[in-house]
Amino acid sequence: MKARQLRCLGPNGFHRMAYYEWGDAANLNVLICAHGLSRTGRDFDSFAQTLQTQYRVICPDVVGRGQSDWLSHADDYGYPLYLSDMTALIARTGADNVDWVGTSMGGLIGMMLAAQPGSPIRRLVVNDVGPFVPKSALERIGLYVGKAPRFDSIEALEQYVRAVSAPFGPLTDAQWHHLAVHSSRRCSDGSFEMAYDRAIATPFSGALQDVALWPFWDAIQCPTLVLRGRDSDLLLHDTAQEMTRRGPRARLVEFAGIGHAPMLMAQDQIDVVREFLLSEKP
């Protein structure tokens, strides 16, 4: 794995986006993996290690998270900027087309990119998110995003991550530790905090409503796989079923004992995505 960075332009100047690259840098068979709202590109380490012999795998830290810059204007955090940044990242790869795996927020970014005329997205994997997001799930996320305290030790922060991220399912101790270490940072006083700008929670303030994005879904034409935690409150069962009937008519795979969202660390989850990505093009 190599850590790299890219300068991107937003409404209020340039900002630096960090990303992690796996595999042969000359490989134009590119896979981009985009993480969830308060996560980082390092969530995909296990997944990227498995796919790096077939792909050049690129896992960005979306701006305001991980090693990427925090924005000076909180209102800039949103999908228009995220789409612009990812377009710059795709251009950086030199590939004409890329495959996309996106978890939650990363899935919505991929969905919006794939819906555009002339999109470079060749194959799309949408992990536990869809074109309808219920208000109740947004309210649950709003209870903790941007509100994490500082912790005296990485062990204490890990216990917090295990609690708020329990819907991820039955991860191993090593996997929980990996998620905690790579989604945190050490402060100048020696304490630990989550590695994201609290301002990313701005859209969750005030009254929340259901989010409907069906026009984007209906415009997607590339082969698409939808993953769902069977207990997910963000991608509802009825929504997932509808995603198989309209738009790209996606293939749907559900994982028992998991809510929002499958972390693509378990071998069975990795295998499902790998098989889809490497299957013959229709």
**pLDDT tens digit string along 190-219?**
999 999 999 999 888 778 999 999 999 999
Mean pLDDT across 82-96? 97
| Alpha carbon distance 37, 191 (integer Å) | 23
Residue 156 counted as domain residue: no
- Asked whether the beta carbons of 68 and 15 are under 8 A apart, the reply is yes
Contacts of 20 (CB under 8 A, 6+ apart): 1, 2, 3, 4, 41, 42, 44, 45, 48, 58, 59, 60
* Amino acid occupying residue 17: M
| Alpha carbon distance 34, 40 (integer Å) | 8
Residue 173 counted as domain residue: no
| Alpha carbon distance 177, 158 (integer Å) | 6
| pLDDT above 70 coverage of the chain, percent | 99
Backbone angles phi, psi at 232, to 5 degrees: -65, 135
Q: Is 46 a residue whose pLDDT tops 80?
A: yes
Other C-beta atoms closer than 10 Å to the C-beta of 237 total 13
Secondary structure of the chain: what % helix, strand, coil (to 5)?
Answer: 35, 25, 40
| Alpha carbon distance 3, 82 (integer Å) | 20
Any idea what the CATH number is for the domain that residue 262 is in? Answer: 3.40.50.1820
Residue 73 counted as domain residue: yes
105 three-state secondary structure: helix
Domain that includes residue 231, residue range: 2-132+213-278
282 band by pLDDT with thresholds 50, 70 and 90: very low
Residue 196 counted as domain residue: no
Q: What is the pLDDT of residues 26-41, one digit of tens each?
A: 999 999 999 999 999 9
Residue 192 counted as domain residue: no
Mean pLDDT across 111-119? 98
Total domains in the fold of the chain:
1
Rounded to two decimals, what is the model's pTM?
A: 0.96
Q: What is the pLDDT of residues 246-267, one digit of tens each?
A: 999 999 999 999 999 999 999 9
Instruction: Please tell me the predicted confidence (pLDDT) of residue 119.
Output: 98
- Asked whether the beta carbons of 183 and 194 are under 8 A apart, the reply is yes
Instruction: Please tell me the predicted confidence (pLDDT) of residue 203.
Output: 83
